[in-house]
Amino acid sequence: MRLQWLRAFEEEGDSGLEERSRRPLSHPLQTAQAMEQVVLELRAQHPAWGGRKLKRRLERLRFEGVPAASTITEILRRHGQLRYGGSQAQGPWQRFEYWAPNELWQMDFKGPLKLVNAGRCDILTLLDDHSRYSLAVEACVNQQSQTVKGRLSGAFGRYGLPQRILSDNGSPWGSAEAACPYTELGVWLLRLGVELIHGRPYHPQTQGKQERFHGSLQVEVLNQSTVWRDLEHCQRRFSQFRQCYNYERPHEALQMEVPASRYRPSLRAMPANCLPLSIWPRIRCAESKPKARSSSRGHLLYVGQAFAGLDVAFRAGAQEGCWELFSVGKGSVGST
């Protein structure tokens, strides 16, 4: 040891006698600086992605030497990229999933956003239940029935018809009428051969996938900007997010695969004409009202505003005071 100190003094003088770090010059498990930079650049593009999503995306981009998800998380922590807090686990949820694409779509509105150039942006979202594929993220001027019908027609033209659509009980797809549970939009969907079903009131867990999608949209898009100029500006950002969500963003519920890997369009094309109703909604005898009345055997029946203008027929139901209603005429897709 004495000879070592003498040799150090002879070679470096007084500085050779100073205490030196015992840390090795290299470490076999240390992440290469180049890979750290790649991780940070990808994180900058997707500020809401954690270690698991970043790892899977780098693997899909065919980078070599991709570190473990825990290592990527540590890289983010060292560089101050982690923000703790936010939503916490809410305990186990009872999950359900339809067996194939297009057996069920989920539909809801998010928003509205305030626009700089006056007005508002209501965000209509459509999600396939089986694949989590985002079918539409639409910047709408309002939440009215005609607006929704127009956006749904576009989605049906691109992807075909689903078997059914799940929505909440709000407008424009939910009805407040006790005598008629259908809205104009609901009747239009029925005549296309699409069943409209509703979640339990005050129970958003029924649309858990849609709620989770809205959470991702909030964190990855809406929280990234406080200035929304107009509907065109909103739609560009929504379309960019939808492309990334479907084809790039790994989804934990899909074993870190992307939704596009599990989705295929429906074989049921949107028909040129509406179909006769095959579902028989029950209605009760009620006081006749304009534009929504009919008669059967001398009875005046209120069938609901949603059926105004349609040729309908009745038959007596099993319950006293109840009638069953069905459509006997055809009309164009746009008719109501």
Q: What is the per-residue pLDDT for 164?
A: 93
Q: What is the per-residue pLDDT for 333?
A: 36
Separation CA 264–CA 22 (nearest Å): 58
Q: What is the per-residue pLDDT for 80?
A: 75
The CATH topology of domain 105-261 is: Nucleotidyltransferase; domain 5 (3.30.420)
Contact predicate 172/108, CB 8 Å:
no
Separation CA 87–CA 79 (nearest Å): 22
**C-alpha separations of 52 from 48, 93, 100, 300 in Å:** 12, 22, 26, 63
Closest listed residue to residue 191, CA positions, set 336, 30, 24: 336
pTM, full prediction: 0.68
Q: How many CB atoms lie within 10 A of CB 245?
A: 23
Contact predicate 223/214, CB 8 Å:
no
Q: What is the per-residue pLDDT for 277?
A: 56
Contact predicate 289/180, CB 8 Å:
no
Q: Which two tokens mark 332?
A: 């164009």
CA angle 89, 254, 193 (to 5 degrees): 105
Contact predicate 190/182, CB 8 Å:
yes
pLDDT less than 50: residues of the chain: 25, 29, 85-94, 279-293, 330-336
Pairing outcome for strands 164-167 and 105-114: parallel
Q: What is the per-residue pLDDT for 284?
A: 44
Closest listed residue to residue 120, CA positions, set 92, 142, 145, 152: 142
Q: Tell me if domain 29-84 and domain 105-261 are identical in fold.
A: no
Q: What is the per-residue pLDDT for 321?
A: 65
**CA distance from start to end of the chain:** 97
Pairing outcome for strands 164-167 and 195-198: parallel
Q: Which two tokens mark 126?
A: 């459509």
Separation CA 127–CA 103 (nearest Å): 11
Q: What is the per-residue pLDDT for 130?
A: 92
Q: What is the per-residue pLDDT for 41?
A: 83
Separation CA 263–CA 259 (nearest Å): 6
The CATH topology of domain 29-84 is: Arc Repressor Mutant, subunit A (1.10.10)
Domain ranges of the chain: 29-84, 105-261, 282-327
What is the 8-class DSSP label of residue 273? B
Q: What is the per-residue pLDDT for 55?
A: 82
Cα Dmax for the chain: 120
Q: What is the per-residue pLDDT for 11?
A: 66
Q: What is the per-residue pLDDT for 92?
A: 46
Separation CA 174–CA 236 (nearest Å): 29
